[in-house]
A and B are shown apart, each in its own frame.
Chain A
């Protein structure tokens, strides 16, 4: 078995592993937003940036090889991650007190883990129209962090290609594949893997928003760094698992 070291600990890996997949299998936390164990690599968010033999690299796209010295949770790297998160926060409309995903949100939980208390930059306050056309699912494009998890889920697992990323630079945005551009006219279904994979509050189920009260949710119970591999693998939102029969929310 080959090993690399992660913050001084030996991590075994198999041929073809990335640093992220090997580390997660061993239960080590490498901060990330756009990585998912069931989906292909993306390297979109850069939050998993580590130092490999002194050079910065995304853990989710870097192949593991023997004798790599990988730095992960150092003060320096966490500060860089905090900066990335602060940029993501001001780019979207991440007003946590008004978001159904709060407490269950990987962006928020990762920001807690990185010790982010404030925004640092000026807010963009984007104003993109909601898509509430679908009977079971709605999309708030102001919260999309362009991680491409829904794009990959819809392509690789659902085989529907419902989502894509369009535009360039500051105008980059999530698009829906349908004649009208609306979710209701696409092949999307609430049973799709893509329906439950959004790490933030951009793609949300309707009528489930407050089934679990604020401050009793997934990342209120345990910090993201302490979640086990298996919990992380179960990508579904807890709020969709628990059938409370309530009718609040969107």
Chain B
């Protein structure tokens, strides 16, 4: 028999992280507006921090997901890295939520879908008036390649729930999260359901 882990013998603190649902959040091809709206729940953030543990998120600066209960995805897919990150969330989060217009239908970034991405890059980085001589399309190997078209995230992975809005209001996010955490069935209420 193994010696008992000293850490395991500590009295369980009320805010024991291991017993709380873990939430991961990310902004893909979004504007961070949905994350700002999450911060807009104001003093309810304290309650939220009491009942959940944040994993990978711009709020924690953790770079990769551990096993999580909920993954909140802001933004659609505009480049290869977005797809990679989304797949990591799907692999490690039990419940994946599309948060906001861009995650749900591509949103504003998808308004470029009628245009040719190669031509856009040339227009912006090479042909635009006022550029330095010799300017060219950035081609560093560390830069993720843009996709030909922006995609909604449900095009690539299964999405369990959608939380619409641009952004969803703080009240919508609060109503959604608290009902999701309570019984796994998020309820927005008509007053919180907006696509704009």
Residues of A within 8 A of B (CB): 89-90, 94-99, 102-103, 108, 111-112, 115, 117-120, 122-123, 125, 127, 214-215, 220, 223
Q: Which residues of chain A are near B166, meaning CB under 8 Å?
A: 96-97
Which 5 A-B pairs give the minimum distances between C-beta atoms? A118-B162, A97-B166, A127-B114, A96-B195, A117-B162
Q: Would you list 12 pairs from A and B whose C-beta atoms are within 8 A, ordered by A residue?
A: A95-B106, A102-B195, A112-B194, A118-B98, A118-B104, A118-B159, A119-B105, A119-B154, A123-B110, A125-B106, A127-B113, A220-B194
* A34 to B: closest C-beta gap in Å: 21
B154 and A102 contacting across the interface, CB-CB below 8 Å:
no
Q: Which residues of chain B are near A127, meaning CB under 8 Å?
A: 113-114
Q: Which residues of chain B are near A99, meaning CB under 8 Å?
A: 196
Whole-angstrom distance between the alpha carbons of A103 and B193 in the complex?
Answer: 11
Q: Which residues of chain A are near B161, meaning CB under 8 Å?
A: 117-118
Kindly state whether residue B170 has any CB partner on chain A within 8 Å.
no
B155 and A95 contacting across the interface, CB-CB below 8 Å:
no
Kindly state whether residue B163 has any CB partner on chain A within 8 Å.
yes
Q: Which residues of chain B are near A117, meaning CB under 8 Å?
A: 161-164, 188, 193
* B70 to A: closest C-beta gap in Å: 16
Contact with A along B148-165 (1 / 0, CB 8 A): 010110110001011110
Q: Using A118-B159, A223-B190 as known contacts, say yes or no to A108 and B164 having CB atoms under 8 A apart.
A: no
Q: Which residues of chain B are near A122, meaning CB under 8 Å?
A: 152, 155
B111 and A98 contacting across the interface, CB-CB below 8 Å:
yes
Kindly state whether residue B107 has any CB partner on chain A within 8 Å.
yes
Whole-angstrom distance between the alpha carbons of A108 and B105 in the complex?
Answer: 14
* B117 to A: closest C-beta gap in Å: 13
Residue in chain A with minimal CB distance to B33: A97
* A27 to B: closest C-beta gap in Å: 19
Residue in chain A with minimal CB distance to B112: A125
Kindly state whether residue B108 has any CB partner on chain A within 8 Å.
yes
Whole-angstrom distance between the alpha carbons of A98 and B181 in the complex?
Answer: 32
B110 and A95 contacting across the interface, CB-CB below 8 Å:
yes
A102 and B193 contacting across the interface, CB-CB below 8 Å:
no
Q: Which residues of chain B are near A220, meaning CB under 8 Å?
A: 194
A97 and B108 contacting across the interface, CB-CB below 8 Å:
yes
B101 and A95 contacting across the interface, CB-CB below 8 Å:
yes
> What 14 additional pairs, Cβ within 8 angstroms, besides A117-B161, A215-B196?
A95-B111, A97-B107, A97-B195, A97-B196, A98-B111, A102-B196, A112-B194, A117-B162, A118-B161, A120-B154, A122-B155, A123-B155, A125-B149, A214-B196
Q: Which residues of chain A are near B188, meaning CB under 8 Å?
A: 117
Whole-angstrom distance between the alpha carbons of A117 and B162 in the complex?
Answer: 6
Q: Which residues of chain B are near A119, meaning CB under 8 Å?
A: 104-105, 152, 154, 162
Q: Which residues of chain A are near B149, meaning CB under 8 Å?
A: 125
Whole-angstrom distance between the alpha carbons of A149 and B111 in the complex?
Answer: 27
